[in-house]
Amino acid sequence: MSNYILDACALLAVLNKEKGAEQVKSIIEQATTPSTIVRMNAINLLEVYYGILRESDKQTADDTIRMVRKSAISIKDVVTRGVFQEAGRLKARYRISLADSIALAEASVSGCSLVTSDHHEFDIIEESESIKFFWFR
């Protein structure tokens, strides 16, 4: 079984047809099978939403989020106690953004691979933690 957590940059790569988007799209398509789970925390989806709002308009942002919520990506609208505590630890130790700490904590607590391209944020974490990463570029 393959399990993945999407970071905002992974979903944005697909939406914007950026380099590496085909790898992420393939992972999302696998989520339609019983052997693959693809999740994203609502906090990371919020990053996608406000990114679209900055570049476009509310209608486009709302339509995109509605489309994502109807896709095979499972959106977690809550932060469990374990993710809460792990995100706090990671944020304090590495001084990363709140959204990044949530995505990392989701991957850490669930044992899933974090799908990302944020090397500048996560390379040091990959060296120091037992969190699994799927680098799409």
**Per-residue pLDDT at 132:** 98
**Per-residue pLDDT at 1:** 78
Superfamily of domain 2-135: 5'-nuclease (3.40.50.1010)
**Per-residue pLDDT at 137:** 95
* pTM for the predicted model, two decimal places: 0.96
Show the low-confidence residues of the chain (pLDDT under 50): none
Query: HEC states along the chain?
Result: CEEEEECHHHHHHHHCCCCCHHHHHHHHHHCCCCCEEEEEEHHHHHHHHHHHHHHCCHHHHHHHHHHHHHCCCEEECCCCHHHHHHHHHHHHHHCCCHHHHHHHHHHHHHCCEEEECCHHHHHHHHHHCCCEEEECC
Q: Quick one: 32 exposed, middle or buried, by C-beta within 10 A (0-12, 13-18, 19+)?
A: exposed
